[in-house]
Amino acid sequence: MLTKTYLAYLMTLAASMPTPGPAMLQAMTLGMRHGARPVAAAALGNACATVLQVTAILFGLSLLAREPILLRLVRFAGAAYLIWLGLRLWRAPCRLALPAGVASTTRLPHLFGQGLLVAAVNPKAWGFLSAMLPPFVTAGMPDLAAVALLVSPVCLIGFGGMMAYAVFGAWLVRVLESPAALRRVFRAMAVVLWACAGFFAAREFPL
């Protein structure tokens, strides 16, 4: 696995996944009201869905490895998608809008299934992962160890981010309720996304 490409992959994940989006804010609200245990069940469901998503995307992209031009086009489209995500972060409203409601039940199996379903049907997750994985399938479907290296940071950052929002929710609300602080967070993450998009677009990977 290409070291520089993998580091750019990790940087992109670290910059984009912990942003205070709907899943993280839902975890914050649920954690503040019911504690971290219910959030852990939802986050575990989210992680399980991520394993399936990454594996399915790698398999689908590996089929394009037989057509280098198509794989290159997917790579450029992915870089454009990262640029668009960064632009959305740069222009995002600088206010922390907590969800009005939380899950009607704190039963752990229900929350696990909810986390699994929400992640599995989230088109942004599919698009985001599809944008970053083409460089890793130029030689075909990666082996099991390589798949584990690609899956594990997504799961760890997603699970860890949701748990952090659940445990430190009250403190995060105080910090992020400031429009200036939230703007700095969003724009710093946007710059990282743009840098990684430029890397993925400009770097020539073996085809």
pLDDT in tens, 81-130: 888 888 988 887 776 655 555 555 568 888 898 888 888 887 878 888 88
Distance CA 133, CA 136 (A): 6
Count other Cβ atoms within 10 Å, centred on residue 203.
14
Per-residue pLDDT, 206:
52
Q: Does a structural domain hold residue 8?
A: yes
Count other Cβ atoms within 10 Å, centred on residue 206.
8
Number of domains in the chain: 1
Instruction: Please give the model's pTM, rounded to 2 decimal places.
Output: 0.78
Q: Does a structural domain hold residue 120?
A: yes
Per-residue pLDDT, 100:
53
Distance CA 118, CA 158 (A): 13
The answer to which of 5-19, 98-112, 153-167 has the lowest mean pLDDT is 98-112
Q: Does a structural domain hold residue 207?
A: no
Distance CA 86, CA 89 (A): 5
Provide the CA 116 distance to its chain's centre, in angstroms: 14
Per-residue pLDDT, 16:
80
Q: Does a structural domain hold residue 89?
A: yes
The answer to which of 136-140, 165-169, 177-181, 183-187 has the lowest mean pLDDT is 177-181
> If you ran DSSP here, which 8-state letter would residue 177 be given?
T
User: Tokens 């085809």, residue?
Assistant: 207
Q: Is it the case that residue 57 has pLDDT exceeding 90?
A: yes
Distance CA 111, CA 103 (A): 8
Q: Does a structural domain hold residue 29?
A: yes
Q: Does a structural domain hold residue 174?
A: yes
User: Residue 73 to residues 19, 107, 126: CA-CA distances in angstroms?
Assistant: 28, 45, 17
Question: In sequence order, which ranges of the chain are alpha helices (DSSP H)?
Answer: 3-16, 22-34, 36-64, 68-91, 108-120, 123-132, 144-167, 169-176, 179-202
pLDDT band at residue 44 under the 50/70/90 scheme? very high
Percent of the chain at pLDDT > 70 equals 86
Q: Does a structural domain hold residue 111?
A: yes
Q: Does a structural domain hold residue 103?
A: yes
Distance CA 72, CA 204 (A): 9
Per-residue pLDDT, 155:
93
Q: Is it the case that residue 204 has pLDDT exceeding 70?
A: no
Distance CA 104, CA 184 (A): 34
Q: Please, which residues have CB within 8 angstroms of residue 88's CB and are 6 or more apart in sequence?
A: none
Q: Helix 36-64 and helix 22-34: axis angle, to 10°?
A: 160
Per-residue pLDDT, 152:
95
Per-residue pLDDT, 146:
92
pLDDT band at residue 55 under the 50/70/90 scheme? very high
Residue 115, domain extent: 3-202
- Per-chain mean pLDDT for the chain: 81
